[in-house]
Amino acid sequence: MNLEHDFAGGLLRVTSGDAIGTITINNPARKNALTAAMWRAIPQAVRMLTDKAEAHVIVLCGIGADFSAGADISEFDSVRKNSKTAVAYEALNSQAFEAIRHCRVPTIAAIRGICYGGGFGLAAACDLRIAEQGARFSIPAARLGIAYPADAVQDIVNALGTQMAKVALFTGAPMSSEKMAMAGFLLEEIESASFESEISALAHAIAANAPISLHASKLAVRAALEQNGDLLREAEIIGAETFDSEDYAEGRAAFAARRKPHFTGK
């Protein structure tokens, strides 16, 4: 389903087409920093793409030269002025991270330029991360005198590895896309000229596959990462259901006819 929708006064844009959903951070004047309204809108944007647009994959990106500079510090005097307001604000952060982390379809972070703080957290919550060469990464929480949300730290450890996660959190120092690729945080780093086409190719390759199969695989991976028996059983149930699905029949028919399958998620 083709769809276009703005959230947070246009600072967060949602589009979909060809079973690919895109969430675009649209605050270039502040290097795509995320306001409280934008954090609040991210779970709504994810639900719109999965439930209404029926996207098979979601790409998260920033408009222009940067992915995101993280939380908008200009709001901190009001939204993070003390522990009470900070707890409420960080709940918005955590809900956004969770919406990406638990999204039932695969998610891709398409990273250009700066990927700092909360932007880093959103990227870490995605299933796959690809960066343009020259992208820069940092978690500057310690330099601001604040602690990074604990749930987001778990995403960072899973995506970056324990030792590199500690370096990132303890130093707040910027890191290159090359270093992040070597650490395994990035699937790959790509030259500017082919960045968009490579992201599109990956998204289309995923979107062409059966949604129920993708969902079962996502749950199984989450179960392994979280050592969660309930998730594992859910993944097993959904995996078994694929054999009675219309998509399985379509997959067999397409294979026999040597044509591309057309999956509907049923």
Averaged pLDDT, 58-83: 87
Whether the predicted pLDDT of 79 surpasses 80: no
Q: In the structure encoding, which two tokens stand for residue 160, read together?
A: 């970056």
Integer angstrom CA distances of residue 2 from 43, 72, 218, 228, 260:
19, 31, 24, 36, 21
Gyration radius (Cα) of the chain, Å: 19
Q: Is residue 214's pLDDT more than 80?
A: yes
Q: Percentage of the chain surpassing pLDDT 90?
A: 73
Beta-carbon contacts of 265 under 8 Å, excluding residues fewer than 6 positions away, are: 54, 56, 210, 211, 212, 247
Sequence spans of domains, the chain? 3-207, 211-257
Q: Write the pLDDT tens digit of every residue in 173-203.
A: 999 999 999 999 999 999 999 999 999 999 9
Given this model, what pLDDT does residue 14 score? 98
Which pLDDT does position 26 carry in this prediction?
A: 98
Residue 168, CA distances (Å) to 22, 77, 141, 202 in order: 28, 25, 10, 28
Give me the helices (H) in 73-210, please. 76-79, 83-101, 117-125, 141-144, 150-160, 162-171, 177-183, 192-207
Return the closest-CA partner of residue 154 out of 189, 202, 204, 102. Answer: 102
CATH T-level assignment (fold) for domain 3-207: 2-enoyl-CoA Hydratase; Chain A, domain 1 (3.90.226)
Q: 63 with 23: CB under 8 angstroms?
A: no
